[in-house]
Structure 1
Amino acid sequence: MGLRADAARNRARILEAARAQIARYGPRAGMDEIAEAAGVAVGTLYRHFPTKADLISAALTDRTTRVVDSVEAAVDRVHAGGRALEEITAVFTELVDVSGEDRAVKSAAAALGINGDDQAQQRKRARAGLDRLIAAAHEDGDLHPDVTSADIALLLTTMPGHEIDARARSRWLELMLRGLTPAYRRDRDPAGRNAGE
């Protein structure tokens, strides 16, 4: 049986607060401070997550689930007639926006010996969805034909965190798309001059 609506809201607030507090303070983020940031009593936090390891593990799982849901929703929109590159860009933009929190939670999990192996199936679903988006973008001619989901995963390892300002993160995304997308190079010669100059 699922959580009551108020309990589900509390749980969601706790997870959001945990990600933000861990991004700010790392593994030493306190449960009391997380409860305060979430606007819930400490007892409420402990009812949902008896230990910090439980909380961090849940934060990891929650984020992975959100990524999977985002990728699969993007696939659905492409099947309904959307442009694959636009959906890929939207997914990457979302990932960049939360990259600092994600890295901090993963680091905190590693510090507590949480390996995230139970998320393997979720990661497999995300990769399968990304494969479908990439295939659709290839059909549209919007990605270089040799780009694979493994390439995307490699590029995402270089994604800047929140220690880099929003403008720089946006620039990273633009540069990544330039490397993946023929349209960025179509009108330029190898020296970088506009065609016809």
Structure 2
Amino acid sequence: MDGTQFARSAPGDVAHAPSPPLVIIVDDDPLVRASLDSLFRSVGFVTRLHANAREALDMGTGDQLACVVTDVRMPEVGGFEFQSALNASGADLPVIFMTGHGDIPMSVRAMKAGAVDFLSKPFRDQDMLDAVNLAFERARADRAAHQGSADARARYDLLTPRERQVMDGVVRGLLNKQIAHELGIAEITVKLHRSSVMRKLGLRRVPDLVRLADQLSST
């Protein structure tokens, strides 16, 4: 799988109207693909069918909410290797594994790899739908968290170097006079910078500033 990238659409290609959630089905059995295609379309999902993982990796999802339903055992590239390639490409799509030859060690491996669920064939339609709905919930939460981090970074980038120094002192719990002594500036100047920091970041309380700093440090 070296060098394989999961294609992404350019920002200008994103449609204005949100698209229905997309389920990417990857299975070498055409009967399984057809059955899942019918099931997901019956509840309003959009589907994309692939007979192998390499084919799926060559296509992107743009800004569309998506998840992957894949068989574990497939020729050439198996489900676990497929998931690793997705993660390496930065696609970060929630994955649901299915197999006709499942065992406990395999299911444990799937869940440790971050799978939403591991279903043994034959499975109930409702179990598959429940798993896919959970995958979309997870995808929405991840997208919201990512957007929140991006917004926080954009606001932080508005701060001047001195304002960032003052912010760092506040986050460390220093008093204004301590920050002033550390930076070699007047205490009134620290107060002005501190006020500007809170205004630019859209915050009112120091605990909120600390949480935002933690959020920035984890990205």
Q: TM-score, normalised by structure 2?
A: 0.26
| Bigger helix fraction | 1
Q: TM-score, normalised by structure 1?
A: 0.29
| Bigger strand fraction | 2
Greater relative contact order, per chain length (Cα 8 Å cut-off, separation 6+): 1
